[in-house]
Amino acid sequence: MIDFEDFTIDESRFPLDEMKKITDQKQYIPIIDAGIKVNDGEAYNEGKKRGVFVNDANGKELRGSVWPGTTTFVDFFHPNSSIYWQDMLDTLYQKVNFSGVWLDMNEYANFCDGYCEPPGGDEGFDYSKDLPYNPGSDNIESHTIGLNATHYGGLKEADVHAFAAMLETEATAGFLKRKGLRPFIISRASTLGSNHYGFHWTGDNGASWDFLKGSIADNFNNQLWGIQMVGPDICGFAGNTTEELCARWYQIGALYPFARSHNSNNTVSQEPYALGDVVLQSAKKNLLLRYSMLKHYYHIFVNQKGLGTIFKPLFFAFTNDHNLYIDAIADTQFMIGNNLMAAPIVE
């Protein structure tokens, strides 16, 4: 992108003719963030003209801060938002064809807590009065927009926070269908029903054994919520991974429904070749195993028709075996479909 601005491509670093050579042969999936850079660019000017941005508590355009700096956010509850979003996706598609879309920072993520620019007046969100219970956090506006921000029709952010990303995924799926593509969409934020339009990854985890082990339960939970295509960041996102941890993570990660390595830009490089021969051999061996079983995995997805679970606890398949209910097995082993069992090393 140019300065982290959505729907742009830095043609000086990534010439379009060179990009075309890639997209003619490979699947290319760009990351698109939910925050629109506030500048004189097409995305911001079009959105402002069409009135599709989220407002603050006083009805003025809400300003946040994300990677490009000062941003505003698309109000996906607005009836014009889907066409706006699809038009913006098309401006990028006209320059570089892509096969799917990666929707990130769409909780909405905000580097400020609530408001970067307090709107004045009725700016605070009173937890004691405005929520029926405390969801368990000291500040549930941490790293998101103000919960009394307003959407189209007078909707309050506190009441619809979970659904904006689903509507964004729906609009993105509509664009890909218009292009004759089978929608492949990964979203960081999801809710019940999101699986009708896209898939999910479990967000910024840590490079630790606890997160490796916990990824199994993360996948189980998402299956129960109807999201079958799911997985975390292999080797961990935050913090420095180790040779042993990353090697073991490739063993389990190759079996996730959705598998990808990813890490923060302020940590050690964790490409397999950067961590030594042990990780390199583990990645090679296990990713080859993954490719060898992709058709079987695909068959399970097709056979399930979007229903039920694909990556599941053992006791889902063997309900009468009470040994499978103990934590040492229930939390660390899993079934892929009804025929393949995995017992990975998690510590």
**pLDDT tens-digit series, residues 231-290:** 999 999 999 999 999 999 999 999 999 999 999 999 999 999 999 999 999 999 999 999
Lowest-confidence region among 9-18, 132-141, 191-200: 132-141
Enter the DSSP assignment of 324. G
Q: Is the pLDDT of residue 129 over 70?
A: no
Residue 75 annotated to the active site = no
Confidence label for 133 from pLDDT (cuts 50, 70 and 90): confident
Q: Is 166 exposed, middle or buried (0-12, 13-18, 19+ CB in 10 A)?
A: buried
Residue 126 annotated to the active site = no
| Structural domains of the chain in order of their starting residue, each with its CATH number | 1-201 (3.20.20.80)
Can you tell me whether residue 234 is helix, strand or coil? strand
Tell me what pLDDT residue 135 has: 75
Tell me what pLDDT residue 208 has: 98
Residue 90 annotated to the active site = no
Name the pTM for this structure.
Answer: 0.93
Which tens digit of pLDDT belongs to each residue from 55-113?
Answer: 998 899 999 999 999 999 999 999 999 999 999 999 999 999 999 999 999 999 999 99
Query: Among residues 42, 107, 113, 123, which one is catalytic?
Result: 107
Confidence label for 138 from pLDDT (cuts 50, 70 and 90): confident
CA distance 185 to 29: 9
Cα–Cα distances (Å) from 59 to 13, 39, 66, in that order, read: 40, 20, 21
Tell me what pLDDT residue 341 has: 97
Query: Among residues 61, 117, 123, 204, which one is catalytic?
Result: 204
Enter the DSSP assignment of 135. -
Are residues 218 and 193 in contact, defined by beta-carbon separation less than 8 angstroms? no
Pairing of strands 101-104, 185-187: parallel
pLDDT mean across residues, the chain: 93
Tell me what pLDDT residue 70 has: 97
Query: Among residues 104, 141, 157, 170, which one is catalytic?
Result: 104
